[in-house]
Amino acid sequence: MTRALAVLTCLALLTVAVEATAHPHPLLAVALGTTYAAHALASLWWLPRQPAPRRYWLTAAHVGLQLPLGVLLFAAAHGAVGATLLLLVLVSQCVLLLPLPAAAAVTAVVPLVHLGMGWADFARNALGLLGAAVFTAVVTALLQQAQRARAELAEANDLLRGYAAQAAELATTRERNRLARDIHDGLGHHLTVVQMQVQAARAVMGADPARADAVLAKAQHQASEALAEVRRSVATLREPAARPPLRAALEALTGEAAAAGLDATLEVTGPERPLPQEAEESLFRSAQEGLTNVRKHAGATCARVTLAYGADGTVRLAVRDDGRGLCAPDADRRTFGLVGLRERAARVGGRVTVGPAPGAGTELLVEVPG
């Protein structure tokens, strides 16, 4: 806007100079026009850079100087087009720099410059100049609003690009955490079983080779399951993988634990109902992590997995063992596996608690809505 007004000021001054050749005192008209235009150009560059309160007073002083100059210019130029254009530049400046009431007041008094040419000229032309001033003020205000809208849109686009980058980074972090949980809960579970079966085979290899061979065969089966888990994880990166129903998946888990030498059982209570995929995944991984921890840390001989479909819309999964149990500080220990379980449960509005089981041992309890 400032650049356009500067160009218009120069064109108006050139018009004043051309029109002045037809008047009795051309040098006076050109001198007044040059003074007016020079002051206008200086103010176009300087006034917008001033802070708001000071800018208002300086603009008012600028108007107080330009209006008398305008009266003299109109009288010397006989109300020529160039002089009118210079006054309309002043109107645009006021719209850009002053509050709306002040700009409206300047627009209303601009026609008074015709008084320099007498009352008769004022009566004939003041209304036309007022219309031109109002039109100029409205167009300037609309252009100013459009300019502000473009600036706000550009700022909003910059913010959106920043938010998109943050969202992409957050999605990458979440996917990385999901993969870490899947590797820990899936592959870690199978490798734990393999390790325990190999240890059991080594313990009986000398005394009972046939039994050791049977245990190693189970370990080989678990290694194959671990490889299949890796393949499923890779396939999941391309498209969602189908998992067996929750009850069947839990029966397979307890069967694997029993094959590894742990007395593991599954009990399902309440009417079974379909659950959201994320809720089933959270419950399955919780049972998997719970049985893995029983074999690795609890020193237990038996484990009981209970899946309860509550009438209150909550599904509870508990893994209890008869092992050494947890003391109070251990119950709040934040291992990676438990952190992953809490993250999974929180994503579906559930919660995870770990503590001593009733009687003896440890209990892992997971509650999810469903």
Return the CATH number at 321. 3.30.565.10
Q: How far apart are CA 347 and CA 369, in angstroms?
A: 11
Mean pLDDT of 188-197: 74
The dihedral of CA 320, 326, 332, 337: what is its sign? negative
Angle between helices 119-182 and 336-347 (to 10 degrees): 130
Final residue in a domain of this structure, among 66, 91, 117: 117
Count: domains in the chain: 2
Position 98 scores a pLDDT of 78
Contacts of 19 (CB under 8 A, 6+ apart): 29, 77, 80, 81, 82
In terms of pLDDT, which residue wins out, 146 or 189?
Answer: 146
The DSSP element (H or E) to which 320 belongs, if any, is: strand 314-321
Q: How far apart are CA 113 and CA 75, in angstroms?
A: 8
Flag whether pLDDT at 286 surpasses 80.
yes
According to DSSP, the β-strands at 351-356 and 314-321 are: unpaired
Q: How far apart are CA 251 and CA 175, in angstroms?
A: 28
Mean pLDDT of 176-188: 68
Tell me whether residue 7 is in a domain.
yes
Q: How far apart are CA 43 and CA 39, in angstroms?
A: 6
Q: Mapping DSSP to helix (H, G, I), strand (E, B) and coil, where does residue 206 land?
A: coil
Flag whether pLDDT at 307 surpasses 90.
yes
Q: How far apart are CA 82 and CA 44, in angstroms?
A: 18
In terms of pLDDT, which residue wins out, 346 or 297?
Answer: 346
And the tokens for 209? Answer: 């080779």
Q: How far apart are CA 193 and CA 280, in angstroms?
A: 23
And the tokens for 180? Answer: 């870490």
Mean pLDDT of 155-182: 75
Position 22 scores a pLDDT of 72
Final residue in a domain of this structure, among 48, 83, 117: 117
Position 20 scores a pLDDT of 72
- Within 10 A of 257 (CB to CB), how many other CB atoms are there? 27
Position 304 scores a pLDDT of 93
Confidence class of residue 280 from pLDDT cuts 50, 70 and 90?
very high
Final residue in a domain of this structure, among 79, 102, 117: 117
Tell me whether residue 333 is in a domain.
yes
pLDDT in tens, 221-265: 777 777 777 776 666 555 555 568 899 999 988 988 888 788 999
Tell me whether residue 65 is in a domain.
yes
And the tokens for 361? Answer: 């041992």
Contact 353, 316 (CB under 8 A): no
Flag whether pLDDT at 149 surpasses 70.
yes
Q: How far apart are CA 198 and CA 192, in angstroms?
A: 10
pLDDT in tens, 66-89: 877 777 777 777 666 777 787 788
Mean pLDDT of 17-26: 73
Tell me whether residue 214 is in a domain.
no
Q: Mapping DSSP to helix (H, G, I), strand (E, B) and coil, where does residue 59 land?
A: helix
Contact 285, 337 (CB under 8 A): no
pLDDT in tens, 256-276: 888 878 899 999 999 999 999
Confidence class of residue 328 from pLDDT cuts 50, 70 and 90?
very low
Q: How far apart are CA 88 and CA 370, in angstroms?
A: 71
Q: Tokens 């899936």 identify what position?
A: 186
Tell me whether residue 151 is in a domain.
no
Mean pLDDT of 129-134: 81
Tell me whether residue 338 is in a domain.
yes
According to DSSP, the β-strands at 302-309 and 263-269 are: parallel
Position 333 scores a pLDDT of 45
Confidence class of residue 336 from pLDDT cuts 50, 70 and 90?
low
Task: Compute the C-alpha angle 26/30/32, nearest 5°.
Answer: 120
Mean pLDDT of 155-167: 80
Tell me whether residue 177 is in a domain.
no
Tell me whether residue 6 is in a domain.
yes
Flag whether pLDDT at 332 surpasses 60.
no
Which domain, by its residues, includes 17?
A: 2-117
Q: How far apart are CA 156 and CA 153, in angstroms?
A: 5
